[in-house]
Homo-oligomer: A and B are copies of this chain.
Amino acid sequence: MSEHQLNQISWNKLNGLGPEGKSPYFQQDGRTFHALVAQQFSRPMLEDLCSLATCVRKIAKSREGCSFLQSRLFDKRAMLYFAQPSTRTYLSFDSACQTVGLDCMDVRDSSTSSEVKGESPEDTVRTFSSYTDLIIMRHPAGGFAERIAWMLSNTSRPVPVINAGSGKDQHPTQALLDIYTLERSFEKIGGIDEKKVAFVGDLKRGRTVRSLAWLLTQYENVKMYFVAPQELQIGEDVLAQLDAVGVPYEICYEFETIIPEVDAIYMTRIQDEWDIDNESSLIDTSEFYFTKEYLNILKKDAVIMHPLPRRKEIDVAVDSDPRAVYWRQVRNGMWIRSALILSIFGLDGRVRDYYKEEIS
C-alpha cells in the first residue's frame, strides 16, 4: 500500500469509525486518545488545546506552578521512540514530558538491537508499550504510527500513541504548534479568522505545510498563498481539498509582491533529505529567501514563522525583529505538546481549575 493510500485511510476514518467499530483517535468521552494525524483535530479541539497550552505556559512561570504541573503524572511513564533521528522534535517532547512531570525512557537509534535480531517493528513497539503509558514515536514509514496505534488499541493494556512525525505525510504536533503560534500572534487582532497566510519555499514536500493548510480551513475566511518555484509548488491534492471546502487561495511564483499583503509568512526549508535523485539542488530558490530588506514592506502586525531548522531562507539579521516569531514557535511547541499530553491523560480540567484559582 502506498503512503498516499495509507493517508487516504486516515482521512476516511475521520468520516466514520475504525475497523473495530470504534474511533482510533478518541476516547469515549471525546478526548484525544491517539494523536496521529493533523486532520483529527477539529476547531473546538484546537481552541481547547491552545487555551490549555496557555494555562500551562503561565502556570510554569512560578515555582509553585511548576511543582503543581510536575505532581500529576508521577505514576506514568512515556517512551520516546525516535526510529528516525530528529533532535529538535525529540527535545521538544522531552521537555514537554518534564514540564508535566512524566518520566521518560528513550530509544533514539535508527535500529534497535531487537530489530537487528530479527524482531518485527510491531513486536518492538509492543515491548516498549509494556514498560510505559504513552508512546511518542517518530518513524520513517508513512502510516506506521497508525498501524501501531491500532495494534495497541487491541491489546489488554492499550497505550496511547503520539505521532511525532511519520514518513512524508504526517507530523501533527508540528501543525498544532503552528496553530498555537498563529493564535498567540493574532490574539489582540481578532485571532486567526480573516487572516492571510503565505506559505513559502518547498511546498511540494514539506509535510508541515500540508497539515497546517488543512487545519486553517477550519477558521473563517482565511486566505492562503502558496509561494514557490514551479518545481516545488504545493500538491494538486491539497488544492483539491481546499476547493472541496471552498477555501480561497492563490498560487504565486513571486515572493516580494505578496509580502505587504499577508499577516503571516510561513517559510520552509528545502527538504532534500527526501530527495532521492537530488533534483532540488538544481533549483534556484534564492528568490524565496526572506531578507532584512523585506522587513520594511512587511505589515507591522504580521509574523514570520519557520518550522526550523533553517538554512538560508531567513537572514539571521531578521531574528531580532519582533515580528520574527520562529524562536518563540520553538517554545510554543513545548507548551502545546505539554497540553496534548495532559489532555490525553485527562488532566485538562484539573489544570484549568488550578489556572483559574491561582493565576488568572
Residues on A facing B (Cβ under 8 Å): 60, 62-63, 66-67, 70, 74-75, 77, 79, 85-88, 91-92, 94-95, 98, 103, 105, 107, 109, 112-114, 116-120, 122-124, 126-128, 130-132, 155, 269, 273, 308-311, 316, 327, 330-331, 334
Chain B residues near A330 (CB-CB < 8 A): 127, 130-131
User: How many of these chains are in the complex?
Assistant: 3
Chain B residues near A112 (CB-CB < 8 A): 85, 87
Are B130 and A327 in contact, with the CB atoms below 8 A? yes
Known: A86-B113, A92-B131, A130-B330. 11 other contacts (CB 8 A): A77-B95, A87-B107, A87-B109, A94-B105, A94-B131, A95-B132, A119-B308, A124-B309, A130-B327, A131-B330, A131-B331
Are B114 and A88 in contact, with the CB atoms below 8 A? yes
Are A87 and B66 in contact, with the CB atoms below 8 A? no
CA distance A117 to B268 in the complex (A): 12
Chain B residues near A128 (CB-CB < 8 A): 91
Are A91 and B77 in contact, with the CB atoms below 8 A? no
State how many angstroms separate the Cβ of A320 from the closest Cβ of chain B. 8
Known: A119-B308, A119-B309. A87 touches B75 (CB 8 A): no
List, sorted by A's number, 18 A–B pairs whose CB atoms are closer than 8 Å: A63-B75, A66-B75, A67-B74, A70-B74, A85-B116, A87-B113, A91-B105, A91-B127, A91-B128, A114-B309, A118-B269, A119-B309, A119-B311, A120-B316, A123-B309, A126-B327, A130-B327, A131-B331
State how many angstroms separate the Cβ of A338 from the closest Cβ of chain B. 11
CA distance A344 to B155 in the complex (A): 34
Q: Which residue of B lies closest to A309 (CB)?
A: B119
Best-buried of A67, A310, A334 by chain B (most CB within 10 Å): A310
CA distance A86 to B115 in the complex (A): 10
Chain B residues near A91 (CB-CB < 8 A): 79, 105, 107, 127-128, 131
Contact partner of A105 (CB less than 8 A), chosen from B95, B107, B118, B316, is: B95
Are B114 and A331 in contact, with the CB atoms below 8 A? no
